[in-house]
Amino acid sequence: MSGANGSATGAARIEILRAQLRAEAAVEPPAVATSPAAKHTQIIAIYGKGGIGKSFTLANLSYMMAQQGRKVLLIGCDPKSDTTSLLFGGRACPTIIETSSRKKLAGEQVAIGDVCFKRDGVFAMELGGPEVGRGCGGRGIIHGFETLEKLGFHDWGFDYVLLDFLGDVVCGGFGLPIARDMCQKVIVVGSNDLQSLYVANNVCSAVEYFRKLGGNVGVAGLVINKDDGTGEAQAFAQAAGIPVLASIPAHEDIRRKSASYEIIGKPGGPWGPLFAQLAENVAAAPPVRPKPLTQDALLGLFASDVTGRNVVLEPATEFDMVGRHGAVKKSLEVVYDTV
């Protein structure tokens, strides 16, 4: 009898499952969505030589974007943690790495309010880095982004996320946005000097390298800072096939206000139109594949008396190294008699 009861119970269960499947199949699928697509965040990585003015450019650019009604997040990815200092009037912003370490020791979780701060509509944070001589800055960047992901970075509803990276450090952590397609486009900040354009060219080379490996990041353009009108940066942009998004002049008023942590990218101010146009150009510029220059082509943008490219390489001799002509030494090679 138990066998018969078991078979009956099994058959009943099968019938219940069939009824559930019929009920699910009878439900009409939802209508095709016709509403506008969800907000698409532009993530833009900004690179440049240390001290070239990335933080100055980004603080004023992000401020202007916010005044134009855009929701902007500025993330400092430089171990110096100075990206947000201009935005916050010189005040230091607690970094993600520093806060994460402190919270971990206390057995607490990092909250958004611990590391993200805002001013006049601009949201900002610093990834930070290890103390001098105590760790790898690139690894710190990777750890910082891991923390951001835990905080829900990919679900945040920003129009623009601006990442400030040190361009003359070539380790993997600083190349993360390009190598892993974490941003859609790159902006380089340079000036009319060889070193800053050397860094800008390296960034273009990195972008092109990862494009050949199947990456999708492109260069949106060059911002020329402290432009003295000599034209080398403009010539570089043309040779590399990227547009100039803005030329910020080498003006005493800009230097003085920047040194006193004053935002100049304000609507109605004398430099407002410059940063308003930069904001529009940054938003609209498509990511393009750059054409990195060879070292000789890069040197060719400058006068030979500036770069010394007419110098001839003279090979050193043994006499140069030891102060005498060495005797010919017998070879220690074993030579076997041939049979």
The model's pLDDT over 167-217, given as tens digits with 9 standing for 90+, comes to 666 566 677 788 888 899 999 999 999 999 999 999 999 999 999 999 899
The whole-number pLDDT of residue 205 equals 93
Q: 147 lies in a domain?
A: yes
Q: 312 lies in a domain?
A: no
The whole-number pLDDT of residue 34 equals 44
Strands (E), 32-129: 42-48, 72-76, 117-119, 122-126
The whole-number pLDDT of residue 35 equals 41
Residue type, 85: S
Q: 135 lies in a domain?
A: yes
104 included as an active-site residue: no
Q: Please determine, for residue 39, whether its predicted confidence score (pLDDT) is greater than 60.
A: no
The whole-number pLDDT of residue 38 equals 41
Tokens of 53: 């003015």
CA distance 112 to 121: 16
User: Which residue out of 71, 80, 118, 266 is catalytically annotated?
Assistant: 80
Q: 8 lies in a domain?
A: no
User: Which residue out of 54, 185, 226, 257 is catalytically annotated?
Assistant: 54
The whole-number pLDDT of residue 280 equals 96
Q: Please determine, for residue 139, whether its predicted confidence score (pLDDT) is greater than 60.
A: yes
Q: What's the pLDDT tens digit per position in 275-326?
A: 999 999 999 999 999 999 998 899 889 876 655 566 777 888 888 888 777 6
Q: 102 lies in a domain?
A: yes
Tokens of 303: 């006068």
Q: 10 lies in a domain?
A: no
266 included as an active-site residue: no
Mapped onto helix, strand or coil, the DSSP state of residue 225 is strand
CA distance 93 to 55: 14
Listing from the earlier edge strand, what are the strands of the sheet with 72-76?
A: 117-119, 122-126, 72-76, 160-166, 42-48, 185-190, 218-227, 244-249
The whole-number pLDDT of residue 311 equals 75
Please report which residue ranges of the chain form alpha helices under DSSP H: 2-26, 54-67, 96-105, 112-115, 137-150, 176-179, 194-212, 232-240, 252-259, 272-284, 295-299, 304-307, 318-322
DSSP state of 214: T
Q: 309 lies in a domain?
A: no
* Range of the structural domain that residue 100 is part of: 42-299
Tokens of 68: 């134009």
Q: What's the pLDDT tens digit per position in 62-92?
A: 999 999 999 999 998 877 777 888 899 888 8
Q: 275 lies in a domain?
A: yes
212 included as an active-site residue: no
DSSP state of 329: P
Q: How many CB atoms lie within 10 A of CB 3?
A: 7
CATH number of the CATH domain containing 290: 3.40.50.300
pLDDT averaged over every residue in the chain: 84
Termini Cα distance of the chain: 97
226 included as an active-site residue: no
Q: How many domains does the chain have?
A: 1
Q: Please determine, for residue 136, whether its predicted confidence score (pLDDT) is greater than 70.
A: no
User: Which residue out of 164, 168, 226, 227 is catalytically annotated?
Assistant: 168
The whole-number pLDDT of residue 328 equals 63
Strands 42-48 and 117-119: unpaired
